[in-house]
């Protein structure tokens, strides 16, 4: 009997450990980031999927033409509504099969689907006016949608001015080598390469003339102004000034922005050690303090300015031995602790 009780206890603990998130999901109590969306003409694509504490996410698409499709104006109201209850009621009434298109709040949000069962992308057949589309997210098993990712679709049709076959990027130190190819470019004018450091806000980087050929063309661009984290997209512009966007690609620069690290005093006694970092450019960097065995004693993100940055670390509780300060990917400096308080 005692053995049976032990086995039962073990199985119960195992069951609770493995399935607790499914039975008792950790429901958000505040909005969380549901990823990043971008609009490629009539196609909405996911850039970064949402996740909440490693738990599975359920998505639903809604749209609004309020404020002329201005997402910045309509999203605040969306976040204040209980979209989860509205969606559950919508499904209970038959969902999309019922032909219903419920209005959510005063901004005329309504649930939509393109029927392709892909909840991370959405295909718009045609948009006659600017329209705000949002992908709402909630943890499976929870009631409310607390995550949203939105984008505005400008008037569009399914016709693309150029057909891309690839768009790639590779890091070469601090530079990013970009290349792309097209299979056809009839009546096509040029590309505008756009850059972003967050995948949301893009800026013009370069204009590249198209081949305007039925056979398409091959293109290369070396971005010497790249940061550490870079998002790129191509704006493909036809002769009549209509345009579409390519997919977004993300390229991390293999770039060491730290020129030199100096630590003093060295050796250090019972107090603080000063760390001086000479940075090539402004950037957030992870600074680590490790011992000779490779064990991390401390790690912290610092926003470095271009030039000399100075800060202090408390080493009063460290035992006497050799340590390393590491900033960035490869740059490090060592010091010795000689005594312990």
Q: What is the pLDDT of residues 98-142, one digit of tens each?
A: 766 666 766 578 888 877 767 788 888 777 778 888 888 888 888
Structure tokens at 98: 């019922």
Domain membership flag for residue 163: no
One domain, residues 139 and 214: no
pLDDT per residue as tens digits for the range 19-37 = 444 456 888 888 787 888 8
Q: What is the model's pTM? A: 0.47
One domain, residues 298 and 245: no
**In whole angstroms, what is the distance from residue 218 CA to residue 224 CA?**
20
Specify the number of domains making up the chain: 3
Query: In terms of residue numbers, what domain contains 82?
Result: 21-153
State which of 199, 230, 252 marks the end of a domain: 252
Q: How many residues belong to the chain?
A: 341
Supply the pLDDT for residue 13: 41
Calculate the average pLDDT of the chain: 78
Q: Give me the residue label for tokens 């549901």.
A: 34
**Contact partners, residue 332, CB within 8 Å, separation at least 6:** 261, 324, 325, 326
* CB distance 283 to 76 below 8 Å: no
Domain membership flag for residue 165: no
Task: Point out the least confidently predicted range of 9-23, 141-155, 210-224.
Answer: 9-23
Q: Exposed e or buried b for every residue in 46-81, given b needs 16+ CB within 10 A?
A: bbeebbbeebebebbbbbbbbeebebeebbeebeeb
Supply the pLDDT for residue 206: 92
Kindly state the average pLDDT of the residues 50-70.
79
Gyration radius of the chain's alpha carbons? 27
* CB distance 130 to 153 below 8 Å: yes
One domain, residues 208 and 306: no
């Amino acid at each position: 009997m005692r053995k049976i009780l032990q086995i039962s206890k073990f199985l119960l603990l195992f069951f609770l450990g493995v399935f607790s998130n499914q039975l008792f999901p950790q429901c958000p109590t505040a909005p969380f980031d549901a990823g990043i969306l971008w609009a490629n003409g009539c196609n909405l694509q996911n850039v970064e999927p949402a996740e909440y504490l490693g738990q599975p996410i359920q998505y639903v698409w809604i749209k609004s033409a309020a404020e002329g499709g201005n997402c910045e104006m309509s999203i605040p109201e969306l976040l204040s509504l209980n979209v989860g209850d509205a969606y559950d009621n919508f499904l209970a009434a038959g969902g999309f099969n019922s032909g219903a298109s419920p209005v959510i709040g005063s901004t005329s949000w309504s649930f939509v689907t393109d029927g392709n069962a892909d909840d991370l992308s959405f295909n718009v057949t045609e948009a006659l006016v600017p329209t705000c589309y949002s992908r709402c997210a909630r943890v499976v098993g929870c009631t409310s949608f607390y995550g949203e990712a939105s984008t505005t679709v400008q008037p569009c049709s399914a016709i693309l001015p150029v057909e891309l076959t690839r768009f790639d990027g590779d890091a070469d130190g601090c530079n990013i080598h970009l290349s792309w190819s097209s299979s056809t470019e009839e009546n096509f004018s040029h590309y505008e390469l756009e850059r972003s450091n967050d995948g949301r806000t893009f800026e013009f980087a370069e204009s590249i003339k198209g081949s305007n050929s039925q056979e398409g063309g091959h293109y290369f661009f070396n971005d010497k102004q790249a940061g550490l984290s870079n998002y790129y997209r191509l704006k493909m512009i036809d002769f009549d000034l209509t345009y579409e966007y390519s997919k977004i690609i993300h390229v991390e620069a293999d770039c060491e922005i730290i020129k030199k690290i100096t630590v003093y005093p060295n050796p250090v006694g019972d107090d603080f050690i000063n760390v001086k970092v000479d940075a090539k450019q402004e950037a957030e960097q992870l600074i680590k303090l490790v011992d000779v065995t490779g064990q991390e004693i401390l790690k912290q993100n610092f926003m470095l300015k271009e030039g000399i940055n100075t800060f202090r670390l408390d080493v009063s509780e460290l035992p006497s031995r050799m340590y390393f300060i590491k900033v960035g990917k490869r740059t490090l400096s060592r010091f010795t602790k000689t005594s312990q308080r």
